[in-house]
Structure 1
Amino acid sequence: MRTICWISCVMWLTTPLLSHAEPHKVEITFQNHQLSFKADGKLVTTYHAGPQVAKPYFWPILTPKGVPVTRAWPMEKGMKGETTDHVHQKSAWFCHGDVIAEGISSGKKIPHVEGIDFWSETPGHGKIVCVEIQSPTVKDNHGTVVTKNVWKTADGTPIMSELRTIHFQALDQGSLLIMESTLTADVTNITFGDTKEGAFGVRVSDAIAVKPGGGQFTNSLGNTGEASIWGKSASWCDYVGKVNNQTAGIAVLDHPKNPHPAYWHARGYGLMAANPFGREKSGFPGQKGKKDLVKLAKGQSLTVRYGIYAHDGDTNAAKVNEVYTQFSGK
């Protein structure tokens, strides 16, 4: 098997990230198809991977002060004034909106999708099925858990396997979740289609979103707002606002050794997604004229790594850039 990837760097597991002299205690527990991540006895997030979900997702995501930074709907319904658009944007997730599996029918055709849609959850969508969760481990105040997924068509035909490792660390101003995914074309040749609908994303709390909450998002280049960020490349994006009069935010980090840099499908209504697969057809300004789709021949693998940093305070107070620097191994 030939692998298209970079060698996994685990230096961050042995070097505390911007933490005080007394390390924070982390805990990962597994029960009923769910993983719970706690820091200093407080819930940070729950990873939902049961057979009923279209794809695994993290919800809720809480800062050290307990501020929820992602939207509760549709997992929790009936919250006063909360938006109910885009049912597929469940807090935080990883997938792609057009995965073309050579020789395998996608079933029901979804508009603007050539292959299988793992993003939208409209009729005929694919499903990322978690088939194994290994026992979590905690060492040197870092937690790690390995999971295995199978990407399937709507009728249950496997097209690709995934080894997904989640790392967890608590910091003074926030909590860092790192997802390392190795996608393997073990069934057939795979092409990641050219669409904006991908890939490692979060849907922030309405209170943090530009609309309706009055929040703001910033990228690693210092740009702010949708017009300056959407479809362009950056190392990270951070969404910040006030929830119950407390300033908090959530950042998504793109590792610099990922084989394909992220272009940001980030919107003022609260979506923020790092997309390594979109090209010219996606409409991304930063990919204009580019048509080199990401492909895996049967037997090949692709490894990517992304981070979520849920934090109290604004971008500067939470030291987002410093966290990114250590996350990236620079």
Structure 2
Amino acid sequence: MNKQINILMFIGIALISSFKVEKKGFSIVENKKEKKIDISIDGQIFTSYIYPDQLMKPVLYPIRSAEGTPITRGWPFNPRPGERVDHPHHVGLWFNYGDVNGLDFWNNSTAIPSDKKDQYGTIKHAKVNKIQTADDHALLDVTKYWQEPSGIPILQENTQYIFSSANNMRTIELNTTLTALKKNVSFTDNKEGLLGIRLARELEHPSEESAKFTDASGNITEVAQLDNSQVTGKYRSSEGKEGDDVWGTRGKWVNLNGQIGQEALSIVIIDHPKNIGYPTYWHARGYGLFAANPLGQKAMSDGKEELNFSLPAGKSVTFRYKIVIQSGKHLSDNEVNSIAQIFSTTI
């Protein structure tokens, strides 16, 4: 009798262990050795905060839709066929600027020659301050330092990434506070800034330009005429500007509508009313760079406006942005306005 009971118990345990326990809600896992932090929803990676040595700033990469589709370019870490291979500093989602005390933080990459490195700044991940997770949202709070070529930090950055998920919509909010350390820090008017995403090829605007592309094996090839058959992206701003006309204009938000395979997508960046330069200028390019730049007013307005922002030693400034990734449909102006209105009430 005892032998039968033991056999039944063994079978029961084996049956239970054979079932996969599906993890629900958000989880955040830090891997210091690989220099990354994975943010997952229901056991599937949404994005990762990465800071490898070959990047000159930490970024969120890749970023995926609710269907698991990468909406960011794969190159250079995970190249996909047909992608552009320009601008090696365009990786995932990042926050930096092109002229900080005369140093270019935006364009820095491993492609910069050693004899020119003294013109570029680097942002280094320092520590994780806080991690919180729940079923439908999560928080990652980190500290970074903006460094001169000598390694001396001039700015401390504290960023809270707030992730959320509801049905087919995922969002990322950034609350970034920059604090000048021992000396004044100037942000001279420059078109290269401030919050940027490099999009997947399918979300670019159709273009007849020649460019470099990767084949299925990751080999770089010069292609004279581009295949636009799967390229579907189109910008639309809160002010009704569309396509390439969005570049160099102000707006409370910009919505990029497109499609990857059979999946309709809207990628939205929303500015916050408390940000300097609100509503921001848009550094949104058809080749896949989607960026909000409130500090590059002279460059964006063709000289009609100018903003040379200065941060005295010991003082701080905060920037807030919301990124929306809607899967399965294109968001209307009214829907984006509703999301932006709610976001505008956050501190």
Q: Which amino acid aligns with 1:233?
A: R
Identity of aligned residues (%): 32
Aligned residue among 128, 144, 156 for 1:133: 128
| 2-structure distance, mates of 1:30, 1:291 | 41
Listed one character per residue, the Cα deviations across residues 171-219 of structure 1 (whole Å, up to 9, x for unaligned) are 2222111111110111211110111100101111110110341321111
Q: 1:319 aligned to 2:335?
A: yes
Q: Which residue of 2 aligns with 1:259?
A: 276
The Cα of 1:34 is off from its aligned counterpart by: 1.4
Contact 2:195 2:293 in 1 (8 A): yes
Q: Which residue of 1 aligns with 2:42?
A: 40
| 2-structure distance, mates of 1:44, 1:259 | 30
| 2-structure distance, mates of 1:239, 1:151 | 30
Q: Which has the higher helix share?
A: 2
What do you get for the CA RMSD once the two structures are aligned?
2.0
Contact 2:162 2:172 in 1 (8 A): yes
Moved over 6 A (4+): none
Q: Which residue of 1 aligns with 2:21?
A: none
Q: 1:81 aligned to 2:82?
A: yes
1:132-211 alignment, distance < 5 Å: 132-139=127-134, 141-211=136-206
Contact 1:187 1:298 in 2 (8 A): yes
Q: 1:119 aligned to 2:106?
A: yes
The Cα of 1:291 is off from its aligned counterpart by: 2.8
1:58-69 alignment, distance < 5 Å: 58-69=60-71
Q: Tell me the TM-score normalised to structure 1 length.
A: 0.82
The Cα of 1:51 is off from its aligned counterpart by: 4.2
Q: Tell me the TM-score normalised to structure 2 length.
A: 0.78
| 2-structure distance, mates of 1:56, 1:208 | 23
* Residues 1:318 and 1:64: Cα distance change in structure 2 (over 3 Å): farther
The Cα of 1:317 is off from its aligned counterpart by: 9.8
The structure whose Rg is larger is 2
| 2-structure distance, mates of 1:318, 1:132 | 39
Of structures 1 and 2, the one scoring higher in RCO (CA 8 A, sep 6+) is: 1
Alignment size in residue pairs: 288
The Cα of 1:158 is off from its aligned counterpart by: 1.4
Q: Which amino acid aligns with 1:249?
A: S
| 1-structure distance, mates of 2:40, 2:338 | 23
| Secondary structure of the corresponding residue to residue 283 of structure 2 | strand
| 2-structure distance, mates of 1:279, 1:189 | 21
* Residues 1:317 and 1:225: Cα distance change in structure 2 (over 3 Å): closer
| 2-structure distance, mates of 1:219, 1:76 | 30
The Cα of 1:235 is off from its aligned counterpart by: 1.2
The Cα of 1:41 is off from its aligned counterpart by: 2.7
Listed one character per residue, the Cα deviations across residues 147-167 of structure 1 (whole Å, up to 9, x for unaligned) are 001101223121111111111
The Cα of 1:251 is off from its aligned counterpart by: 1.3
Q: 1:214 aligned to 2:232?
A: yes
| Secondary structure of the corresponding residue to residue 127 of structure 2 | strand
Aligned residue among 305, 309, 323 for 1:290: 305
| 1-structure distance, mates of 2:160, 2:174 | 6
* Residues 1:231 and 1:117: Cα distance change in structure 2 (over 3 Å): same
Which runs of no fewer than 5 residues in structure 2 stay unpaired? Answer: 1-23, 207-227
Q: Which residue of 2 aligns with 1:9?
A: none
Listed one character per residue, the Cα deviations across residues 124-159 of structure 1 (whole Å, up to 9, x for unaligned) are 221100111134112573211210011012231211
